Chain A
Amino acid sequence: MNYFLTEEQQMIKELAARIADEKIAPVAIEYDIEGKFPHDIIKYLADSDLCGVYIEEKYGGLGGGVFEMALVVEELSRACGGIALAFAGTGLGTFPIILFGSEEQKQKYLPDIAAGKKLAAFGLTEANAGSDAAGIQTTAVLDGDHYVLNGTKQWITNGGEADVYTVIACTNREKGARGFSAFIVEKGTPGFSFGKKEDKMGIRASSTRELIFENCRIPKENLLAREGMGFIVAMKTLDRTRPGVAAQALGIATGALNAALKYSRERIQFNQPISSFQAVQHMLADMAIQIEAARALVYQTCRHIDSGAKNISKESAMAKVFASDTAMKVTIDAVQILGGYGYMKEYPVEKMMRDAKITQIYEGTNQIQRNVIALELIKELSSK
């Protein structure tokens, strides 16, 4: 299908595909088994200028938007959804600065992120604040020229590996959702440490750790936007990065279809390739239909967001739900087509099935996404 990408978008997609095929695919299972963080792959992305595709040119990026980010994530995820997350998680940590950072903050942080010298991470989730983000316990108290942070963030992608963390903390308990604020915290700040590395089902090449703040003093100028804007920073950021999760799911699904299709042509049973059986053909066709539909939705959502549209929560949630549910279904079917081999680590699809699951869970579970979509539908109706 021709999605009418610009010449530059086509270049970005092709280069990311080359890195996926040549550099990531051969090592994906090794990184998965060992839980190894892909520093060397980041270097390839950096040298190819891909780390800054979604960052403005004046900060050293390529001046693209959510679409360019999604194209890279999709291609990398075709080879490994976990390795792709080092890039996508950095996008999640960087968007608060892109959207709400002051000129000084942008000057200070964006060039190194665009150059791939620094990774970023986003700290929202806590042990008791997942879908209900209002339950955040981490606090930030102003003390002279500093904010003092206390609390623990949980399951933070790129935790320990990133240099720049955007963190949501409570600055005024009485104001409810308006009592949260967003801060930039640099790795190495006294009082800022990392908890254990989580042992995960999938996306194992990605680092997932706790961020621990113990009387961590950060300069007052590290506040993003204004006090009380934390919740808005988080929601606006997630609206723009959910298509990234969708693209990750899309890439994983595409990789699984490719593997299943290739296998179905090679596997001989009853003296013929299994691709000649209608039962297998229909599975392959359904996988392809769902993937193409997901791609059309994800790409169009990205274009909608990059056009500067104001209300993007519903569309962004739809893309994430549809692509991630597709990835789960397609990877399960891919394992089924490969049969016993599909269940073995020797073939890539069992890993893809493990990797796919997280896309239905993080950056808002698909249940929460459906809540968002339904609430927007109701809101639209009542405003008519």
Chain B
Amino acid sequence: MNIIVCVKQVPGTNEVKINKETNTIIREGVEAIINPFDEYAIEEGVRIKEKTGGKVTVISMGIPKVADLLKETIAVGVDEAVLLSDRAFAGADTLATSYALSMGIKALGEYDLIICGKQATDGDTAQVGPSLAEKLNIPHTTYVRKIEEIKDGYIRCQRLTDDGYEVIEMPLPAVITVVKEINEPRLPSIKGKLKAKKTEVKILTADDIGADKDRCGLKGSPTQVIKTFVPEHNVVAEMIEGTAEEQAKKLAQKLLSMQFMKAR
């Protein structure tokens, strides 16, 4: 099976800093890593390849330096790395990003499955995966926690929901976005690292993939960031302790005192 995994470079920290003037993420001076959720996507791609044969290609859009990060994926079993890099791609929102990725993927040729992480840890939008599927006109499933079966032209997977999971069948090719429950990403191997060192990352420009520059980067991005802030959580939670019986009693008393229910 030919599997394409989309990855994104994100700042390697939990404390993402925002430039207050442009409202964009400050990337200078912060170590860049592969978006952690994309690591699960890569691992799942490599596992499918190990079972069914074929190859795994990672694709990303970003500055030329991202090529170094893409190389590292070779050490965990990826076969090819492709980077879309062009000034025309700069400043892209999720719409322009998914457009560029879709054009890049079309330029790569035949594929069976595209895997993305559920979201990136910097922007947290979770939009690029589904948007990419729409651009390619293929089905998608988000938050996949397990692939139950995959074969020629068919996939059945479990989609994580708030209170359990759904089982979804789709024809292939398709896009899935994965959650961390799906696997435990492997560590690189020394032989893989040595192979990675020798691997060339293929760099493609907007012209190479035949992309319309008006739909790329800042030009192709209708999103304008006006303000970035962490929403305030006004929910006050109180944990009730004790045995189940004691907890029930205390909860009932609480609800009575707050007049959410009446004593009979």
Contact = CB atoms under 8 A, between A and B. Distances in A.
A8 interface: yes
Closest 10 CB pairs of A and B: A49-B190, A49-B189, A48-B189, A49-B191, A11-B193, A48-B187, A11-B190, A62-B190, A47-B186, A44-B187
24 contacts: A7-B197, A8-B194, A11-B190, A11-B194, A15-B187, A15-B188, A15-B190, A15-B193, A18-B187, A22-B187, A44-B187, A47-B186, A47-B187, A47-B189, A48-B187, A48-B188, A48-B189, A48-B190, A49-B189, A49-B191, A49-B192, A50-B190, A53-B190, A62-B190
Nearest to B186: A47
Nearest to A11: B193
Nearest to A46: B189
Interface residues of B, number: 10
A287 interface: no
A264 B189 CA distance: 36
A44 B197 CA distance: 21
Nearest to B187: A48
A113 interface: no
Interface of A: 7-8, 11-12, 15, 18-19, 22, 44, 47-50, 53, 62
Main secondary structure of the interface of B (DSSP, over half): helix
A18 B193 CA distance: 14
B5 to A, nearest CB: 20
A19 B187 contact: yes
Main secondary structure of the interface of A (DSSP, over half): helix
A19 B189 CA distance: 11
A61 to B, nearest CB: 10
Contacts of B197: 7
A19 B188 CA distance: 10
Contacts of B187: 15, 18-19, 22, 44, 47-48
Residue from A8, A18, A48, A53 with most neighbouring chain B CB atoms (10 Å): A48
Contacts of A49: 189-192
Contacts of A18: 187
Contacts of B189: 47-49
A201 to B, nearest CB: 32
B73 to A, nearest CB: 15
Contact of A8 (B186, B188, B190, B192): B190
Contacts of B188: 15, 48
Interface string B167-200: 0000000000000000000111111111001000
Contacts of A22: 187
B12 to A, nearest CB: 14
B190 A12 contact: yes
Contacts of A8: 190, 194
Nearest to A23: B187
A7 B197 CA distance: 11
A19 B193 CA distance: 15
A53 B189 CA distance: 12
A53 B193 CA distance: 14
Contacts of B193: 11, 15
Contacts of A7: 197
A8 B195 CA distance: 12
Nearest to A64: B190
Nearest to B193: A11
Contacts of A53: 190
A98 B186 CA distance: 30
Interface in B174-233: 186-194, 197
B191 to A, nearest CB: 5
